[in-house]
Amino acid sequence: MSDLRVRDVTEADLPAALQIRTRSFGPLRGSEQSWWDGLAAEVLPGRMLAVVDESDTMLATGRALPFEQVWGGRHLRMGGVAGVYVEPSARGRGVGTLLGRALVERMVELGDVVSCLFPTAPELYRAVGYEVGGVQPRCSYAAHDVRAVRSRGGGLRPRPAGPEDAALVHSLLRAHQERHALSGPMLPTVEKWREYLADDGLINYVLDEEDGRGFVSYSLADEVLTVEEIAAESAEATAALWAVVGSGSSAAPTVRAHLDPRDPARLLLGAVPELDVREHLWMLRVLDLPGAMAARGFAPHVTASVDVVVDDPLVPAGSGRWTLTVESGAGRADPADPTDGTGGAGASPAAYGLEGEPARLGPRGLSALWCGWTMSRLRVAGLVRGGRPETDRALDAVFAGSPHLTEYF
């Protein structure tokens, strides 16, 4: 790989990047061309990288999109890795791994504290520290069952939403994510919502009344109603918004929804989802442990202080022994004093192979722990060494959760 290097993509490089994309995944469909044409404004400069050879011929390209992602009801800077394309004739030379390493390093430089992606080749991303974080769930309901909740809407009448409602929609979704202390979903910016609300392919309704506030965004195609976003502050508002979706039952017998597995709709709708349930795996990497801990929300009744050792060759600033502390819903990661020992009493850590040492994790183990994988499962997967049963239980309590993503990128 000595003849390979990574550099930033410029607007002049986009035709070459599109050619690699076409060779990797086929030509763009009609609606995708406008998306590609607008790509430069979103990622240039600085968030699109290329691997090139000694003649500056592009062999691979990838993007690190700027997102805001909620964790424990608080919003963090997240880099969304997407559009990773490798020229077929260059595969097997370590090009993808070199690009992945460079994207991680660039996101750290840009101040992203975590990163997510939807993997086509999980082992490629594991090589640079990503691990499975959760799923993008999708379930289906009969549209007439969705329409039937109209009687529980308290007379609320949602109105069509347009670009002028972007700030309202953004505030409703932010409040929804904070109220339910969600982990995983992204929060598009006001500017992005202005684009979505102007998109003729989406149907948007909003409630902004004293006795009910909420928002729903869905599409209608191929006799299927697909709910992209829904958030409401009361049972009546929830029912009224779902009833608007279900009112299309004469044109579309099926409602599909990308929902939180614990979304209140599961309790409200009078039917169970049909068997058309899909889960699309996504992966996460912690980029900045102190920054991520300080920004994330935690269960307010959990109080813990646990030492861990992190070995992260791609992010040297994240390597070392850390004291993870959670109290009153806030967290922090402080460099630990290695002379303190591990403290406490209990079962011997010898059973875990490193007596007296705190749990030791690489970036994959840390990222999986962040996403709520229990320490016992990480041990079975070989992603943690050392530590003690009581500190395992403390870490499980700190990071407990089942994060999900509802938006594909």
Measured distance CA(132)–CA(166) in Å, rounded = 32
Domain shared by 178 and 271, yes or no: yes
Instruction: Single out the residue in 108, 129, 150 at which a domain terminates.
Output: 129
Percent of the chain with pLDDT strictly greater than 70: 94
What integer pLDDT is reported at residue 65 of this predicted model?
Answer: 95
**Alpha-helix runs per DSSP H in 270-401:** 289-295, 363-370, 375-380, 389-398
pLDDT at 183 over 90: yes
> Exposed/middle/buried for 53, CB within 10 Å: 0-12, 13-18, 19+?
middle
Domain shared by 151 and 115, yes or no: no
pLDDT at 318 over 70: yes
What integer pLDDT is reported at residue 2 of this predicted model?
Answer: 66
Domain shared by 149 and 243, yes or no: yes
Domain shared by 163 and 201, yes or no: yes
Asked if residue 283 belongs to a domain, the reply is: no
Average pLDDT of the chain to the nearest whole number: 92
Asked if residue 53 belongs to a domain, the reply is: yes
Domain shared by 193 and 264, yes or no: yes
Burial 218-242 (b: 16+ CB within 10 A, else e): bbeeeebbbbbbbbbbbbbbbbbbb
pLDDT at 1 over 90: no
What integer pLDDT is reported at residue 352 of this predicted model?
Answer: 37
Asked if residue 409 belongs to a domain, the reply is: no
Across residues 76-82, what is the average pLDDT?
98
Domain shared by 239 and 337, yes or no: no
pLDDT at 123 over 80: yes
Domain shared by 349 and 312, yes or no: yes
Domain shared by 273 and 174, yes or no: yes
pLDDT digits (tens, 9 = 90+) for 235-293: 999 999 999 999 999 999 999 998 888 888 888 887 777 756 678 899 999 999 999 99
pLDDT at 384 over 70: yes
Asked if residue 405 belongs to a domain, the reply is: no
Domain count, the chain: 3
Domain shared by 359 and 394, yes or no: yes
What integer pLDDT is reported at residue 210 of this predicted model?
Answer: 83
Across residues 50-65, what is the average pLDDT?
97
Percent of the chain with pLDDT strictly greater than 90: 81
Instruction: Single out the residue in 248, 278, 308 at which a domain terminates.
Output: 278
**Domain harbouring 37, CATH code:** 3.40.630.30
pLDDT digits (tens, 9 = 90+) for 7-36: 999 999 999 999 999 999 999 988 788 888
Domain shared by 13 and 118, yes or no: yes
pLDDT digits (tens, 9 = 90+) for 203-224: 999 999 887 999 999 999 999 9
Asked if residue 403 belongs to a domain, the reply is: no
Measured distance CA(132)–CA(280) in Å, rounded = 11
CB atoms under 10 Å from CB of 93, counted, come to 18
Domain shared by 24 and 123, yes or no: yes
pLDDT digits (tens, 9 = 90+) for 339-378: 554 433 333 333 333 446 899 999 999 999 999 999 999 9
**Domain harbouring 330, CATH code:** 3.30.1050.10
What integer pLDDT is reported at residue 335 of this predicted model?
Answer: 96
Across residues 120-144, what is the average pLDDT?
94
Instruction: Single out the residue in 217, 252, 278 at which a domain terminates.
Output: 278
Measured distance CA(78)–CA(187) in Å, rounded = 10
Domain shared by 105 and 170, yes or no: no
What integer pLDDT is reported at residue 29 of this predicted model?
Answer: 87
Asked if residue 404 belongs to a domain, the reply is: no
Beta bridge partner(s), residue 131: 284
- Please state whether beta strands 58-71 and 74-86 pair in parallel, antiparallel, or not at all (unpaired): antiparallel
What integer pLDDT is reported at residue 277 of this predicted model?
Answer: 64
Give the residue numbers spanning the domain of 296.
288-398
